[in-house]
Amino acid sequence: MENFKTFDLYNPTSEHLMLRQMIRSFTQEQVEPQASLYDRKEEFNLPLFKKLGELGLLGITADPEFGGSGMDALSAVIVHEELSWSDPGFCLAYLAHSMLLVNNFSINASTEQKQKWLPKMCDGSWVGAMAMSEPQVGTDVLGMKTNATLTPEGYQLNGQKMWITNGTQDEKGTPADVMLVYAITGETKGRPQISTFLVEKGRPGYRVGQKIKDKSGMRASNTAEIVFDNCVVPETHLIGHLGDSLNHMMRNLEIERLTLAAMSLGIAKRSLQIMNRYASEREAFGKPLKEFGQIQKYIADSYAEYAACRTYVYDTARKLDLNKQGQRVDSDGVKLIATTMAKKVADNAIQVLGGYGYVGEYHVERLWRDSKLLEIGGGTLEAHHKNITRDLSKNPQFLD
């Protein structure tokens, strides 16, 4: 048999390994000590977030010419996996900025727009967001009501956006420094024409409607309703061309869903570590819990499902081209299977720990709460079922 060299799927290059080591140290030293506190307070740790800019992580996949780090999808997966091991809520704020805003903007903006705005997005000067969902519209993006009308002064935006991560920076209702906003700008062949606009903090008519409180999980990231009331932005704030937004959305959803799946890996790994250690230390009826078949099933099933999902996520990341679209089968596939896996593994950990798992001391109850959002945000499980079935029907060669 011909000899062949194997490679590390999870750290394929020395650069990937160095990135993992850096973000793991940062997570253990600076993210972990504050994770439970900010979850309880339901607050976003803005000073800590800005340190990610100092590390070059806020623009991890962005154009290096304009302050980004120019790394690949696999690098983004590494960061999201490592941060979520400790604080999925904080990581969600990172995803909203680095993937939904910065990656999106870096791929779709003009050179002039990137020169003007991208450095501030990458170095931590600005905290940003992307606004797509609305009070009555989630998956059905063509049903959105927010609109932009061209006037002599520029495009006038009117409407409401809902569930916007990073929509507010603090408890005072300070809006995101910068936001990519999807809005209806007309109609093409009987379908709504959706376009993308960049809106900066300080624009009259751009404000926070409310901070969403009492969330089940992801409490360390701020979620807000955003209102646009006759908010005028210059024509130069149009990203790409009128009607480009569906392409912007579809391309960026692939990296969004992949990194949400990566967050699931961090949650599952931490839950596994906790239940494995507890089962070795805790005794019942004179022997460690790990000696009981019921506990063995929770641990073994959790490990096997985690390992399988991790392989799928990293293999998908290895092949994902950030500048193309049409990779939805697997970006949806990894999110479909990994997010459900994370919730199950966290639930198993609670079961193994019993009463201790149900309180905050061992963290698994927080990880369990955080995991549920991953089955909803960035596309629901039901949307993935529809997309994958449709894509396989149209392209049966994917199964070859």
pLDDT digit string, tens, across residues 224-280: 999 999 999 999 999 999 999 988 988 999 999 999 999 999 999 999 999 999 999
- Which class in CATH covers the domain with range 128-244? mainly beta
Averaged pLDDT score across all residues of the chain: 95
User: Is residue 201 classed as helix, strand or coil in its secondary structure?
Assistant: coil
- Answer for the pair 260, 334: CB distance below 8 angstroms, yes or no: no
Mean pLDDT of 315-335: 93
* CATH number for the domain running over 246-399: 1.20.140.10
Tokens 């459900």 -> residue: 340
Residues near 42 by Cβ (< 8 Å), separated by ≥ 6? Answer: 213, 215, 219, 220
- Amino acid occupying residue 144: M
Task: Express each pLDDT in 96-125 by its tens digit.
Answer: 999 999 999 999 999 999 999 999 999 999
State the pLDDT at residue 2: 60
Asked if residue 206 has pLDDT above 90, the reply is: yes
Three-state helix/strand/coil letters over 234-263? CHHHEECCCCCHHHHHHHHHHHHHHHHHHH
Taking the C-alpha atoms of residue 328 and residue 251, their distance in angstroms, rounded to an integer, is: 9
Q: Contact 222/165 with Cβ under 8 angstroms?
A: yes
Residue 131 phi, psi (nearest 5): -120, 110
Average pLDDT over every residue of 31-37? 98
Closest to 39 in 3D by CA, of 366, 389, 260, 382: 366
Whether the pLDDT of residue 45 is over 70: the answer is: yes
What pLDDT score was predicted for residue 152? 96
pLDDT attached to residue 320? 95
The phi and psi torsions of 215 (rounded to 5 degrees) equal -70, 150
Statement: residue 138 has pLDDT above 80: no
Farthest CA pair distance, the chain: 80
Return the pLDDT at 81. 98
2 belongs to the catalytic site: no
Is a pLDDT exceeding 70 seen at residue 285?
A: yes
Model pLDDT for residues 140-164, shown as the tens digit of each residue: 888 899 999 999 999 999 999 999 9
Percent of the chain whose predicted confidence (pLDDT) is above 90 = 91
> How does pLDDT run across 65-82, given as a tens digit for each residue?
999 999 999 999 999 999
> What integer pLDDT is reported at residue 190 of this predicted model?
83
For CATH 2.40.110.10, list the domain ranges present in the chain: 128-244
Burial tier of 112 (Cβ tally within 10 Å: 0-12, 13-18, 19+): exposed
In the chain, CATH 1.10.540.10 sits at: 14-122
Class of domain 14-122: mainly alpha
Split at pLDDT 50, 70, 90, the class of 5 is low
Q: How far is residue 266's CA from residue 269's CA, in Å, rounded to a whole number?
A: 5
> Is pLDDT above 70 for 126?
yes
Answer yes or no: is pLDDT of 181 > 80.
yes
**Residue 383, number of CB atoms within 10 A of its CB:** 19
List 82, 134, 225, 256, catalytic entry: 256
pLDDT recorded at residue 231: 98
Does residue 4 carry a pLDDT above 70?
no
214 close to 40: Cβ distance less than 8 angstroms: no
CATH 1.20.140.10, the chain: domain bounds: 246-399
